[in-house]
């Protein structure tokens, strides 16, 4: 099953009197359960594409289907609802809420976005903390955690809403070499356990080597390269 379908996708911006095209006639698909990465130099359109996939921005033209929903037709409130129900995010600076504990950070989208019942929230949070190996840190605050532990919390939070699509923007950039490999292995395990699709935007060769395929962005154009063919 295809979880992402981009059809003639275009994103343009008006900069002063000049129109700049960040994404130009992109056509690609990503299957459910894929582990893939967008790669390309700064300014190639990676962040623009990730923002559109996250329903944070809309294409100028073309269609973008996520989980069989044409997100290019959603208004702002519909996009926010869809994002809260279907998409998880992992950021390079973790974006944990400093005044909340580990378990409260993971619970946050279930309470504030989906408004799930207390018993369901607790059960899901406990299950995810165990899955990513941070149950013993449940009552700690983010400033009491290592970088690797923070990213484990971020991964659990991204999966808390049972999202089938997780978008990860440079998730290993602030981690040391050994921790980065452990986090990549953990995300692959989460993909296998939950049938979650992971899409990365990164310059990190460790993620590129782990990805099943790379989507190369250059001058606004997108081309797919299977990892076995990657240099």
For the chain, the average pLDDT equals 91
Residue 108 lies in a domain: yes
CATH code of 110's domain: 3.40.50.300
pLDDT at 228: 59
pLDDT at 44: 84
Distance from C-alpha of 146 to C-alpha of 54, rounded to nearest angstrom: 27
Q: Is the pLDDT of residue 113 over 90?
A: no
pLDDT range class, residue 231, cuts 50, 70, 90 = very low
Distance from C-alpha of 195 to C-alpha of 164, rounded to nearest angstrom: 7
40-67 average pLDDT score = 91
Residue 6 lies in a domain: no
Residue 17 lies in a domain: no
Domain holding 199, by residue range, is 32-47+80-229
Distance from C-alpha of 162 to C-alpha of 174, rounded to nearest angstrom: 26
Residue 10 lies in a domain: no
Residue 136 lies in a domain: yes
Q: With b meaning 16 or more CB within 10 Å and e meaning fewer, what string describes 44-81? A: bbbbbbbbbbbbebbbbebebbbbeeebbebeeeebee
Q: Is the pLDDT of residue 150 over 90?
A: yes
pLDDT range class, residue 219, cuts 50, 70, 90 = confident
Q: Is the pLDDT of residue 162 over 90?
A: no
pLDDT range class, residue 200, cuts 50, 70, 90 = very high
Other C-beta atoms lying within 10 Å of the C-beta of residue 218: 12
pLDDT tens digits, one per residue of 175-199: 999 999 999 999 999 999 989 999 9
Q: Is the pLDDT of residue 115 over 60?
A: yes
Residue 55 lies in a domain: no
- List Cα–Cα distances, 3 to 12, 53, 182, in angstroms: 24, 11, 26
Contacting residues for 205 by C-beta, under 8 A, at least 6 apart = none
Q: Is the pLDDT of residue 26 over 50?
A: yes
Give the total number of structural domains in the chain. Answer: 1
Residue 126 lies in a domain: yes
Beta-strand relationship, 165-169 and 61-66: unpaired
50-68 average pLDDT score = 94
Distance from C-alpha of 47 to C-alpha of 201, rounded to nearest angstrom: 7
Percent of the chain with pLDDT over 70: 98
Distance from C-alpha of 151 to C-alpha of 57, rounded to nearest angstrom: 25
Residue 59 lies in a domain: no
């Amino acid at each position: 099953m295809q979880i992402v379908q981009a059809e003639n996708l275009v994103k343009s911006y008006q900069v002063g009197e000049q129109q700049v095209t960040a994404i130009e006639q992109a056509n690609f698909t990503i299957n459910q359960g894929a582990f893939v990465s967008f790669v390309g130099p700064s300014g190639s359109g990676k962040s623009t594409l990730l923002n559109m996939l996250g329903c944070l921005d809309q294409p100028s033209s073309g269609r973008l289907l996520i989980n069989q929903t044409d997100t290019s037709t959603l208004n702002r409130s519909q996009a926010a609802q869809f994002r809260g129900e279907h998409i998880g995010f992992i950021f390079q600076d973790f974006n944990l809420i400093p005044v909340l504990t580990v378990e409260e950070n993971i619970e946050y989208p279930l309470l504030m976005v989906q408004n799930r019942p207390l018993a369901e929230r607790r059960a899901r949070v406990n299950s995810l903390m165990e899955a990513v190996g941070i149950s013993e840190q449940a009552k700690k605050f983010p400033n009491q955690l290592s970088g690797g532990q923070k990213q484990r919390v971020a991964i659990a939070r991204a999966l808390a809403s049972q999202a089938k699509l997780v978008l990860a923007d440079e998730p290993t950039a602030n981690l040391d070499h050994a921790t980065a490999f452990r986090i990549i292995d953990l995300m692959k395990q989460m993909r296998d356990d939950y049938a979650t699709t992971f899409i990365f935007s990164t310059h990190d060769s460790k993620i590129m080597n782990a990805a099943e395929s790379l989507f190369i962005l250059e001058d606004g154009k997108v081309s797919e390269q299977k990892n076995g063919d990657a240099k």
